[in-house]
Amino acid sequence: MEISSAPWSFALVVGLLTLTPGLDTALILRTSALGRRRRAWGVVLGIQTGTLVWGVFTSLGVTALLTASHLAYTALRWIGAAYLVWMGFRMLRDTFRGLPTADADESEPADGADSVGGGWRQGTLTNLLNPKMGAFYVAVLPQFIPAGADHLTMGVLLTAVHILIGLFWSAVLIGFARVLRGWLRKPHARRLLDRITGTVIGIFGVRLALNQ
């Protein structure tokens, strides 16, 4: 593969991956739709921070050790699954107890707590505790690094392409979520959103735990 064509080919692959609805989409939509725009961008930046870490580690060959070690992969898989299940459980529990909607990584209800830092922590943890991201980069990224190219430089360049696509799509999601804000001012609508999001996140956690 030529160096000039590698970023475009990689962009096509990760672009399709980014457009596929998943955990990241659910988190961004839920946070933004509740009116926490700064926190939503924090989640976005956290997710992309995790993507950058996976890309750099893959370029250095570190994540190959993760996928080669059954014990390390299993440990990270169970930690990530527990985090996702706990996040989903908190969302569901609070809606059925009639409590204000809260973010799963905060000790207090997050109404009015619209901080970039809190969202960044949530997005980073969600991404880094997902070993499937590491497995994806180990399987895909090396295929787009041309022979003779510096692995670290080219790997970071391709990861930057993924991050740019992710930022653009996240901006679209946040803009779309603002349309729902008027409806979500109603308490029952906020509870419905958290029940849907909590269920989706919990299912992702269970699937991650059961996946071999």
- pLDDT for 22-32, tens place per residue? 888 888 988 88
Give the pLDDT of residue 45: 96
pLDDT tens for each residue of 43-75: 999 999 999 999 998 888 876 666 667 777 777
Domain regions of the chain by residue span? 6-102+112-210
Of the candidates 48, 22, 43, the one whose C-alpha atom is nearest the C-alpha of residue 204 is 22
CA distance 83 to 202: 9
Structure tokens at 121: 């922590």
* SS3 category, 212: coil
* SS3 category, 50: helix
pTM: 0.76
Helix or strand (DSSP H, E) at 161? helix 151-179
Give the pLDDT of residue 101: 52
Residues of the chain with pLDDT below 70 are 1-4, 63-68, 98-113, 184-185, 212
CA distance 120 to 54: 16
Give the pLDDT of residue 3: 64
Of the candidates 49, 57, 61, the one whose C-alpha atom is nearest the C-alpha of residue 163 is 49
Give the pLDDT of residue 135: 78
Identity at 130, one-letter amino acid code: N
Alpha-helix residue ranges (DSSP H) falling in 61-150: 62-68, 70-96, 116-128, 131-140
Q: What percent of the chain has pLDDT over 90?
A: 23
Structure tokens at 31: 């946070």
- Residues 174, 164: contact at Cβ < 8 Å? no
Cα dist from 103 to 22, 31, 111, 159, 164, whole Å: 18, 9, 9, 29, 26
